[in-house]
Amino acid sequence: MNKQKGRNTLRTMAGIVGLAFGVLVPFGAVQAAEKIKVGLMLPYTGTFAALGTAITNGFKQYVAEQGGNLAGREVEYFVVDDESDPAKATENANKLVKRDQVDVLVGTVHSGVALGMAKVARDNKTLMIIPNAGADDLTGPLCAPNVFRTSFTNWQPGFAMGKVAAERGHKTAVTLTWKYAAGEEAVNGFTGGFEAGGGKVLKQLTLPFPGVEFQALLTEIASLKPEAVYVFFAGGGAVKFVKDYDAAGLKASIPLYSSGFLTDGTLAAMGGSGEGLLTALHYADGLDNAKDKSFRDSYSTTYKMQPDVYAVQGYDAAQLLKAGLDAVKDGKLEQGAMIKAMAAATVDSPRGAFTLSKAHNPVQDIYLRKAEGQENKVVSIAAPKLADPARGCRM
Ligand code: PHB
């Protein structure tokens, strides 16, 4: 409030000073809509660096398509590299909220970091849009009116993959992931879908984030002899895992399934090791919709590479913010009106249009995809209009 009052006083003074010096200051121009201050808190170094960059690219692409602004407002960016380090999450989020006084926090990739960020957003009543991190709790027990997500819960693709693995006739599986919220929740989702379809998870294996020492774990998988393996890995760690699984000779003997992060944006770096992998995700290559086509054409022209799911989630974060800003056109950034419009928005996403659940998480189709060359080609819809159960969310 005080910040706003200060700005208006400055504007009035600028008008008076202008008149005193005989300069014509058009009052209409002085009254132009306030700019929007966007805090991007994302990983730009470490195992998830490429993911943070893709989200940023996607966000800025949508702003560029709108003529370089959102709902007529100038967009000013404040950027922090969160290094995917949960220990620094509060301090980094505070830099954006308290020092830079951003109007909206956009971030992040890592679930543990996002949980810390969301606490800062809740405590300071700052609008927050999560363009990746899937921590179930963010739109579960920790849900809040000012916290939105344009990505997924870790449960969503995990559950869909478990359902498909059971439908494919597998009776036993072993899971492997980094030991942190995202991996454990993805595995829980898989286990739920797989066991509901008659399968049994024999063992849930983990290693610390962002470790890539897989050899002993691969030996254990080989000795457990499951009919299927489910993993959650992403970014650089995903590349190393898939190469090691192949080199250990397991790819030929035990089918490997995953949430689609394993193969999104990583197939080129895997060489041929990712070929043929089946994964479940809310985005795929070869979706037959006009929005995706124009999104991909313009992304590849601007950034000289193909977009992935992270670019889509960043693009949709900007679309959701625009829906909020449309509700306060030319006026103050009244958060209540923005929240109402964002909660009711239909986002015209390249993944297919989606709406948000009461907990502010996308209700969306989860696709089954097959890795072919550098693409994750859509095979079918594994789980149509899948909503996270949002257990524990009260609002
Ligand atoms: C997460 O930590 O929630 C996370 C990280 C990378 C992914 C997906 C989810 O690709």
Same fold, 36-152+288-360 and 155-281: yes
Best mutation site among 85, 111, 156, 262 for ligand 1 pocket (most ligand atoms within 8 Å of CB) = 111
Residue 98: predicted pLDDT: 98
Pocket test for ligand 1, best of 47, 48, 361, 376 (most atoms within 8 A of CB): 48
The model carries a pTM of 0.91
Q: Are strands 36-42 and 104-106 parallel, antiparallel or unpaired?
A: parallel
* Helices then strands, each counted (H, E), the chain: 12, 15
CA pair distance 247, 47, nearest whole angstrom: 21
CATH of domain 36-152+288-360: 3.40.50.2300
Q: Does domain 155-281 have CATH number 3.40.50.2000?
A: no
3-state SS assignment for residue 392: coil
Structure tokens at 189: 């989702």
Residue 230, both tokens: 């489910």
H-only helix segments in the chain: 2-20, 27-30, 49-65, 89-94, 111-124, 155-167, 181-196, 215-224, 235-247, 290-303, 309-326, 335-344
Phi, psi of 247 (to 5 degrees): -65, -30
H helix intervals, 269-368: 290-303, 309-326, 335-344
- The pLDDT of residue 26 is above 70: no
Q: What residue ranges line ligand 1, CB within 6 angstroms? A: 48, 109-111, 132-135, 154, 182, 234, 261
pLDDT greater than 60 at residue 24: no
Question: Binning pLDDT at 50, 70 and 90, where does residue 31 land?
Answer: low
Residue 52 one-letter amino acid: G
Is the bond leading into 384 cis (omega within 30 degrees of zero)? no
For the segment 70-77, the average pLDDT, to the nearest whole number, is: 97
Q: Does residue 23 have a pLDDT over 60?
A: no
Q: Do 360 and 343 form a contact (C-beta atoms < 8 A)?
A: yes
Domain boundaries, the chain: 36-152+288-360, 155-281
Atom of ligand 1 nearest to the CA of 48: 6
Round the average pLDDT of the chain to a whole number and report it. 93
pLDDT tens-digit map of 147-189:
999 999 999 999 999 999 999 999 999 999 999 999 999 999 9
Distance, in Å, from the CA atom of 366 to the CA atom of 159, rounded to the nearest integer, reads 10
pLDDT for position 302: 98
Does 139 sit behind a cis peptide bond, omega within 30 degrees of 0 on the bond before it?
Answer: no
Q: Residue holding tokens 């599986």? A: 173
279: CA distance to ligand 1 center in Å?
A: 15
Distance of CA 364 to the CA centre of its chain: 14
CA of 248 to the centre of ligand 1 (A): 25
Q: Is residue 207 over pLDDT 60?
A: yes
* Ligand 1 atom closest to Cα of residue 110: 2
Name the closest-CA residue to atom 3, ligand 1: 133
- Whether pLDDT at 10 is above 50: no
Residue 393 has pLDDT above 80, yes or no: yes
